[in-house]
Amino acid sequence: MKHMGEERGSVATVVTMVLLGVFLLGALGFGGWAFMSRQDYKSNVDAKIKTAVAANAKVVQAQDAADYAEAAKNPLKTYTGPEAYGSVSLQYPKTWSGYVVTASGQPLDAYFNPDVVPSVGDQKSVFALRVQVAATSYSQTLVQYQSLQKQGKVTVTPFALPKVPGTVGVRVDGQITSTKQGSIVILPVRDKTLKLWIESNEFAADFNNIILPNASFSP
C-alpha cells in the first residue's frame, strides 16, 4: 500500500510540473509577444505618425481646394437675354464661360460651362448649364417629359422660380436624354417655353444654389 501511495504522489508531482511548464511557456509566449509588439511600435512609431499626418494633410488639402473653388465662383456674372423673348436673366459663377448660339432655330440658345465651353456641335459634350427659349409652346414641350415619366425614367414636380413665383411650370429630374442624367426646369413664357437645365448631376449644387434662386424673366 505504501508503494502505491508513493506512485500516486510521483504522478501528481509530474502532472503538477507539466502544468507549471505549460503555464510558464504560455507566460513566456505572451511576454515575448508583448515585447515584440512594443518593440515594433517603438521602431515604427515615427513612420506611423508620418503616415497619419500625411493622410490628414490630404483631407485638409482637399477641403481647402473645395473651399477655394467655391469662393472663386464669386462675384457672380449676369446674363440677360433679348427683351422680345422674356428678358431672361440669370447669374452664374465667374469661373464659367458662356456661349450664345444665334442660328440654332431657337429664339434663345445659350451654353455655360466651367473654364471653356466645349463644342456645341458634339452630341457627346456635357454642359454645366443650358438656357433656351424654345419656339414651341409649353404644353408641346411637356409631352416628351411626360412620356419619360410614364417610363419611370424621370420625376416631374411643379416648380416656380423664386423671383417669378406667379408662373408655375415643372421641374424634371432623372434621365433627361438617352445618355445624360440631370435636371431641367420648364416654364411658360408667353407663347414660348423657357428651359433651364444641367446635363450632369455634378452641377446640381450650382443649379440649386446659384442658378435657380437668381434666375428671372418677364412673363
Give the model confidence (pLDDT) of 86-112 as tens digits: 999 999 999 999 999 977 789 999 999
CA distance 204 to 212: 11
CA distance 126 to 109: 15
φ, ψ dihedrals at 168, nearest 5°: -105, 130
Partnered with residue 80 across adjacent β-strands are: 89
CA distance 36 to 29: 10
CA distance 42 to 40: 5
Reported CATH class of domain 77-214: alpha beta
All three cell numbers of 81, joined, read 437675354
pLDDT, tens only, 133-183 = 999 999 999 998 999 999 999 999 999 999 999 999 999 999 999 899 999
Q: How far apart are the first and last CA of the chain?
A: 119
Q: Which residue has the higher pLDDT, 31 or 147?
A: 147
pLDDT score at 8 = 56
